[in-house]
Amino acid sequence: MGRGILARRIVERAEQIEDEQNPGKVLLMAVGIREPEEVRVLRAEWGESFLLLAVKADSLVRAKRKALRNQYRDDAEHTEILERADQDIGILPCVSMADWCLVNDDNLEQLESAVATFFQQHVAPLLEGTSDRT
């Protein structure tokens, strides 16, 4: 499919939504941006309006969560496999390109609270036209 294909599809869909439903501002959220070319495509399309939020968790925490979902075993060998897979697909460079980063080493309630705070402080102002990206 090629590098950046997810981002190009997001841009195409955004154009359809803007044309069909809303001539004003549109909020799109994409989960799973894992390739630096996707970030470049989205930044080129939307510039300052594009926000990249990275959600990070310690590799051991992620391995344990994946083991609970029966995706990986919770051991050092599979934690290493998970880390290599993230590096191979470009997640780490994407994290370094992010505007903000939330750490997800705790429970779901704390993550939900952090996301809600992020939205109130950084996304809602963009939709209202009063963004302060600092």
Provide the number of structural domains found in the chain. Answer: 2
Residue 30 lies in domain: 1-50
| Per-residue pLDDT tens over the stretch 107-133 | 889 989 999 999 999 888 877 765 444
66 in the same domain as 27? no
44 in the same domain as 64? no
Rounded CA-CA distance 1/131 in Å is 35
Would you say 54 and 35 are in contact if contact means Cβ atoms under 8 Å apart?
no
Residue 134 has a pLDDT of 42
57 in the same domain as 44? no
64 in the same domain as 45? no
Residue 26 has a pLDDT of 67
Q: Considering the domain boundaries, does residue 73 fall inside one?
A: yes
77 in the same domain as 112? yes
% of residues, the chain, pLDDT over 90: 25
Residue 82 has a pLDDT of 67
102 vs 82, higher pLDDT: 102
33 in the same domain as 67? no
Q: Where are the alpha helices (DSSP H) in the chain?
A: 5-20, 36-46, 59-68, 76-89, 91-97, 108-118, 124-128
| Per-residue pLDDT tens over the stretch 30-55 | 888 888 999 999 999 988 888 899 99
61 in the same domain as 19? no
